[in-house]
Chain A
Amino acid sequence: MFSNFTASQLVALRCVLDRVIPGDDLTPGAGEAGGAEYIDRLLGAFNFDPPQIWAGGPTSGRRGGAAAFDHWIEMGEWEKLAWRTRIDQWSLVYEAGLLALGDDFVELSPDQQTERLKQTSTEFRSVLYEHGCESLYGDPIYGGNRDAKAWQAIDYRGDVQPEGYTDQEVSAP
């Protein structure tokens, strides 16, 4: 999508995300919900100006107000440096992790996939898990949580401004 990964890497990433944070008949898996696209967008954040690290505000437009989350916020010079450093580190982790998973990962049986996953580094598994959680339950603007399905599954409205909640909804829900 943003060319950080090859098409087959994206497929592998989607598949491994569904293994790490699996879905069921009510909730999508992390891969199914766009987790690979989330990671791709994060690693490729600097292909855009401003970089797509911090979505804009104050409202998404889903509950009234303007749709402003796609007005990405300008970063400071030193913030860009820190984020480039962080992204470079992650890119290496993903590269090595996908290599360890192998070209044939998607074709393996679930048990074999689990075995393969064990052969990747602890660092890869923990970064993958964190990004998987962020993608699935974070705002769709970041590329994951497709159609906000994961939020619907957990009965979560996500951002609520400018609507908010009435006092009644807070005190006597």
Chain B
Amino acid sequence: MTGSVTGNDCDVVVIGSGPGGATAAHILSSAGWNVIVLEKGRNHLLELTEPYGPMGHFSNDEIKFTRRHFLGPDPITEPRTFRRSESDGDRFLTGHVNSLPSTVGGGGVHADGKLPRFREVDFSLRSELGGVEGADVVDWPLEYSDLEPYYAEAEELVGVAGEAGNPFAAWRSSPYPMPPGADMYGSLLSGAAALRHGLHPYRAPTGVNSVPYDGRPACNNCGFCAFYGCPIEAKGDPVALLRRALNTGRCQIIPEAYVHEITTDTSGKKATGVRYLDLRAPVDNPGGPPVHEIRSDYVVLAGGAFETPRLLLRNGLGNSSGLVGRNLMFHFQTMVAGGFPERLWGASRGRSVTHLHDDHIVGDKAQDVAANGAGLPWLRGGIVEHGGAAGPILESLSYGSNQHHAASMRASALRERLWVFTMQGEDLAQPNNRIDLDPSVRDAWGFASGRVTYRPHRHEIATSDHVAPILESVLRDAGAEWTAVSTSPPTNENDPHPAMGHAPVSYHIMGTARMGDSPESSVVDPSGRLWDIDNVIVADSSVFPTSTGYGPTLSLVALAARATRLAVGDPLPPTAPAKP
């Protein structure tokens, strides 16, 4: 297939350059397709001319990355809205809502890259555990074994460092490409205490080089990991994928290109390409930003689980099921902080989080009893990240104006002496939790903003209530003098000033174009294409039918690799567990 034969500009347009879009760009360009990646954000990741080196824009700079919207989206030009339900009216708040970076590389740029796989049971919750009233718990249309080869490929491409230390992990066909990196001191304390509590902490599989890999250096533990671009390219996701794609000579990345329309033929069943706004033109360009059109045989939609349904809804595409935007899931975050007598240096050294445990996903007798008490058939939590706190500006903001500000900062109770467990709790799908188009708030280009309508199921709250005291006692055993629990969203929605705000702060966004076995009950087919338009491949976490309790990124990369390999007719052969 080449553009010149069909009269098209390229074989495939990829919308979005985050981990999902980057994977698609790599697989498709490697298979010989001509690829154009359109990214609405700006490029700070890598030079777009040979040899595609780093741009040098990333640095250890708390102001740039956490206070000044460096990686976008700026809520002034791209506001989003949130409400808990219709009873909040059209919206409860406007501004920054789950805004993953909008930039070349997407959210991969500033994630700290904990990249665990899902487990076998995650693909068949409905048939193995059964449904839950008020939630739409389903099986995935594929099994773990279908995805295993792509998990292995994803780990290889991104460069994941890890080891076989988790007794609950799914089977693997091959070892991790790299050994784990340095343990953070705090996680040695919290890990030892977790062990004493009968839990099973392990070194987190992480998309960060522990040794030189793929032409990029080993991490030097600079401490500016979560929320920062890596100044030395030790984080593999997604720079490794985009650079490979560019190196084929068949991939072009166009930043500041905001796709507002997927064009179709008259039947409406075939995509013919896209139209996008060229945001590089001056803002006072007469008539608004110039519109460009690209014609292609395929379109890969990888705008992330927030923007993907927004684009489909705006275009009225892919929605014969009525499910586009629905079953929006976030991880329910339970944060348990502990204050230690001595400095742990977790805020300034290492990769933000170096250990995890899965015990609250797997459950035990006590968790079953808690489920019973809550009138639920089961409870499933999520990975617990053992991690440090954030930088000094954030700490100083939290003290408020007072006489002891300087002394508090030196004592550093909320930074270097803090250690935090964050549980990424499984969020059950509910059709009323959704992204739709706000009736009146618009972005700078006149398009309706995405609006989140979201309220957690009582499963998430019951799970959090059950797990939080366990995590508090582990932290105390590790040496914490005090502990404090906060959740996002709040467990009590009548709290006027919840610690983490009203809208979910999770950056794990899933489920708004779910994948399934039939066009009536899903948006995307088991091979990753829209049921309604089979030359549109969806390559981000919007396709997840359930949220699981694991970070979504490795799985969305594996799914994107699978969908695009199926499209080029080059699926990976089945795998089997490696011999020990």
Taking the complex as formed, is B226 at the interface, i.e. its CB lies under 8 A from any CB of chain A? no
Does B533 interact with chain A (Cβ within 8 Å)? no
Given known pairs A73-B44, A153-B410, the reply for A172 and B185 (CB within 8 Å) is yes
For A62-92 the 0/1 string (1 means CB < 8 A from B) is 0000001100010011111111011000000
Please determine whether B77 and A57 come into contact, CB atoms closer than 8 angstroms: no
Q: Is B392's CB under 8 angstroms from A137's CB?
A: yes
Chain A residues, CB < 8 A from B401: 20-21, 125, 129
- How many A residues touch B, CB cutoff 8 Å? 61
Interface of B is mostly: loop
The contact string, 1 if C-beta is below 8 Å from chain A, for chain B 50-62, is 0000101111111
CB neighbours of A154 from chain B (8 A) = 392, 409-410, 412
- Interface residues in B216-261 by Cβ distance below 8 A to A read 219-224, 231-232, 256
A57, B56: Cβ atoms under 8 Å? yes
- A49, CB-defined interface residue at 8 Å: no
Contact with A along B409-433 (1 / 0, CB 8 A): 1101000100000000000000000
Main secondary structure of the interface of A (DSSP, over half): loop
- Across-interface contacts of A73 in B (CB, < 8 A): 44, 57, 70
User: Given contacts A82-B77, A164-B222, are A69 and B59 in contact (CB under 8 A)?
Assistant: yes
Is A133 in contact with chain B by the CB < 8 A criterion? yes
Q: Contact: A79 with B58, CB < 8 Å?
A: no
Residue pair A161, B231 in contact (C-beta under 8 Å) = yes
| Residue in A23, A60, A125 whose beta carbon sits within 8 Å of that of B59 in the complex | A60
- Among residues of A, the one whose C-beta sits closest to the C-beta of B282 is A77
Q: When A82-B77, A156-B392 are in contact, do A55 and B280 touch as well, CB less than 8 Å?
A: no
* B197 on the A face (CB < 8 A): no
Q: How far is the CA of A149 from the CA of B281 in the complex (A)?
A: 43
A81 contacts across to B, CB distance below 8 A: 76-77, 283, 444
B64:A157 contact, CB within 8 angstroms: no
Residue A40 lies at the interface, judged by CB distance under 8 Å to chain B: no
Residues of B within 8 A of A53 (CB): 68
| Residues in chain B near residue A102, CB distance under 8 A | none
Across the interface, B70 reaches (CB within 8 A) one of A54, A159, A164, namely A54
| Chain A residue, CB-CB nearest to B354 | A170
B67: Cβ under 8 A from any A Cβ: yes
Closest CB of chain B to A130's CB: distance in Å?
Answer: 7
Known: A137-B396, A164-B221, A171-B185. A153 touches B409 (CB 8 A): yes
Chain B residues whose C-beta falls within 8 Å of the C-beta of A162 in the assembled complex:
220, 231-232
Given the complex, which residues of A lie within 8 Å of B484, measured CB to CB? none
- Is B444 within 8 A of A173, CB to CB? no
In the assembled complex, which residues on chain B have CB atoms less than 8 Å from the CB atom of A147? Answer: none
The answer to the question of B188 belonging to the interface, with a C-beta cut-off of 8 Å to chain A, is yes
Knowing A27-B406, A53-B68, A161-B222 are in contact, say whether A139-B61 is a contact too (CB < 8 A).
yes
Report if B196 contacts A (CB, 8 A): no
- Which of chain B's residues 62-96 have a Cβ closer than 8 Å to chain A? 62-64, 67-70, 72, 74, 76-77
**Cα–Cα distance between A167 and B180 once the two chains are bound (Å):** 12
Indicate which residue in B62, B69, B77, B223 contacts A165 across the interface (CB closer than 8 Å): B223
Is the CB of A111 closer than 8 A to any CB of chain B?
no
Place the interface of chain B in its size category: 35 or more
Known: A26-B410, A69-B61, A79-B74. A160 touches B222 (CB 8 A): yes
| Interface flag for B183 (CB, 8 Å) | yes
Q: Which of B57, B256, B343, B406 contacts A26 (CB 8 A)?
A: B406
B393 at the A interface (CB under 8 A): yes
| Residue numbers in A under 8 Å from B343 (CB-CB) | 173
Task: Report the nearest B residue to A157, measured CB to CB.
Answer: B348
- Say if the beta carbon of B110 comes within 8 Å of chain A: no
Report the separation of the CA atoms of residues A172 and B184 in the bound assembly, to the nearest whole angstrom: 8
B63 pairs with A138, CB closer than 8 A? yes
- Pick from A57, A125, A164, A171: contact of B57, CB under 8 Å: A57
> Does chain A have a CB within 8 A of B42?
yes
Find A167's partner among B62, B182, B393, B406 (CB 8 Å cutoff).
B182
The answer to whether B397 and A77 touch across the interface, beta carbons within 8 angstroms, is no
Taking the nearest CB of chain A, how far is it from the CB of B163, in angstroms?
15
Across-interface contacts of A60 in B (CB, < 8 A): 59
Within 8 A of B (CB), among A37-59: 53-59
Query: Contacts of A22 on B, CB cut-off 8 Å?
Result: 403, 405-406
A173 touches B231 (CB 8 A): no
How far in angstroms is the closest Cβ of chain A from B402?
9
Bound together, the chains give a CA A136 to CA B63 distance in angstroms of 11
Q: Which residues of B contact A82 (CB under 8 A)?
A: 69, 74, 76-77, 444
Specify which of A56, A142, A167 is in contact with B63 (CB 8 Å cutoff). A142
* A54–B69 CA distance with the chains assembled, in angstroms: 9
Interface residues of B in 507-559 (CB under 8 A from A): none
* A-B contact list, 25 entries, CB within 8 Å: A21-B401, A56-B56, A58-B231, A59-B231, A78-B77, A80-B283, A81-B76, A81-B283, A130-B397, A137-B409, A138-B67, A139-B62, A153-B409, A153-B410, A154-B392, A154-B409, A159-B61, A160-B348, A161-B220, A162-B232, A165-B220, A167-B221, A170-B185, A170-B349, A171-B185
Q: Hey, which bits of chain A sit against chain B, CB under 8 A? A: 20-24, 26-27, 29, 53-60, 68-69, 73, 76-83, 85-86, 125, 129-130, 133-134, 136-139, 142, 150-151, 153-167, 169-173
The 5 closest A-B pairs by CB, nearest first: A164-B220, A57-B59, A159-B60, A27-B406, A58-B231
Given contact pairs A169-B221, A171-B185, a sample of 16 additional A-B residue pairs in the complex whose CB atoms are under 8 Å apart: A24-B407, A55-B61, A58-B59, A59-B59, A68-B59, A77-B283, A79-B72, A82-B77, A129-B397, A139-B61, A153-B410, A155-B416, A161-B220, A165-B221, A167-B182, A171-B183
Residue positions of B touching A, CB distance < 8 A: 42, 44, 54, 56-64, 67-70, 72, 74, 76-77, 181-185, 188, 219-224, 231-232, 256, 279-283, 343-345, 348-350, 391-393, 395-397, 400-401, 403, 405-407, 409-410, 412, 416, 444
